[in-house]
């Protein structure tokens, strides 16, 4: 029987399966849509800061979709047997930590484009929430073994 914390982690992962898959599909099908929306929001928030130019180059889209598919699969695998496979969550945490870090680096050391900051404000909280749920589940399962 799963602990309450393991059940909560499982539910969070099930939500992330849907969200990451939907994001990956939207990046792949409409690659300019999300960047365009982030640029519009950035212009409303800080019109003097530069936006990120859209491009027809889709090289990075392939890698983005691949990463979203990978973290979707990791969430699916972990939630399928949360007690035995919860360590798959570590790989999702690594992906979110690095995306947050590089969004911040690109914002602070690069062009100061707000979409980079927005990216960190999405992936950073995902990392923090998932890390907290993972730690609680890991502690609770250790206590029940």
Where are any strands of DSSP class E within the chain?
none
Q: What is the pLDDT of residue 54?
A: 81
Which residue do the tokens 């992962």 mark? 13
- Quick one: pLDDT at residue 80? 97
Per DSSP, 111 falls in state T
Separation of first and last alpha carbons in the chain:
11
CA 111 to chain CA centroid, nearest Å: 22
Question: For the whole model, what pTM was predicted?
Answer: 0.92
pLDDT averaged per 10 residues in sequence order, the chain, 145 residues: 96 98 95 89 92 84 96 98 95 98 94 92 98 96 65
Distance of CA 124 to the CA centre of its chain: 8
List the domain boundaries for the chain: 4-144
């Amino acid at each position: 029987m799963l602990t309450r914390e393991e059940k909560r982690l499982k539910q969070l992962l099930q939500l992330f399966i849907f969200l990451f898959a939907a994001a990956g599909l939207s990046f792949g099908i409409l690659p300019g849509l999300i960047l365009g929306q982030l640029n519009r929001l950035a212009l409303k928030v800080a019109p003097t800061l530069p936006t990120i130019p859209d491009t027809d180059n889709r090289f990075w889209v392939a890698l983005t979709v691949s990463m979203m598919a990978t973290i979707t699969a990791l969430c699916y695998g972990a939630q399928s047997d949360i007690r035995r496979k919860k360590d798959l969550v570590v790989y999702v945490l690594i992906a979110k930590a690095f995306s947050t870090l590089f969004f911040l680096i690109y914002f602070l050391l690069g062009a100061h484009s707000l979409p980079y900051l927005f990216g960190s404000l999405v992936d950073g909280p995902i990392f923090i929430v998932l890390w907290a749920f993972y730690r609680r589940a890991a502690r609770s399962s250790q206590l029940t073994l």
